Structure 1
Amino acid sequence: MPKGKQLLGLPKGKYIFGTVKVGERGQIVIPKEARTRIAIEPGDTLLILGDAESGIIVSKPELVRDAAARVFQNLDK
């Protein structure tokens, strides 16, 4: 997959970074381009969300926290 190139049909800012293999200890390596674009640094804490049918999502915890805060603010209105 060409580096830094969005696939046709994906909205701006949405990317597919490729595939990774799971090691013997369950570890994966996040592709460099993904770490750069999402600003993931060594030592960062990441949130792992899962769905039995869809798989997993890896996210920065503050992004989920901020989205939840916006939902709760809208409920108060």
Structure 2
Amino acid sequence: MTDKKFDEVWVPKFYGATTIGERGQMVIPVEARKDFQLTPSAKLLVFGSPGGLMVVKAEHITGFLARASEMLRALELAAEEPLQ
């Protein structure tokens, strides 16, 4: 899976259906595991909203937060500069 630019349209891909087992486990379809390089040791974060669940690789969230922090710091520095 490749990252898209902000101005590109991303269309979600349907990988199939899954069932929650008696122990609360869910099987992620093999094609999704391949596309996202999900190995048995992959860390996933699960978010919930009234509309459903979202599963995200932990490494993508930490990378996103690091980039967002850098952008916020740049904005703070820009806001401190006097207007010309």
> Smaller-chain TM-score range?
0.7 to 0.9
* Pairing 1:5-44 to 2, within 5 Å after superposition: 11=10, 14-44=12-42
Deviation at 1:25, TM superposition (A): 1.3
List structure 1 segments (4+ residues) > 4 angstroms apart after TM superposition. none
Unaligned 5+ segments in structure 1 are 1-9
Q: Tell me the secondary structure at the aligned position of residue 34 of structure 2.
A: helix
Q: Which residue of 1 aligns with 2:6?
A: none
Percent identity, aligned pairs only, is: 35
Shift of 1:11: 3.0
The CA distance in 2 between the partners of 1:69 and 1:56, in whole Å, is 24
Q: Aligned residues, how many?
A: 66
Structure 2 unpaired stretches of 5+: 1-8, 75-84
1:61 alignment counterpart: 58
> CA offset at residue 76 of structure 1?
0.7
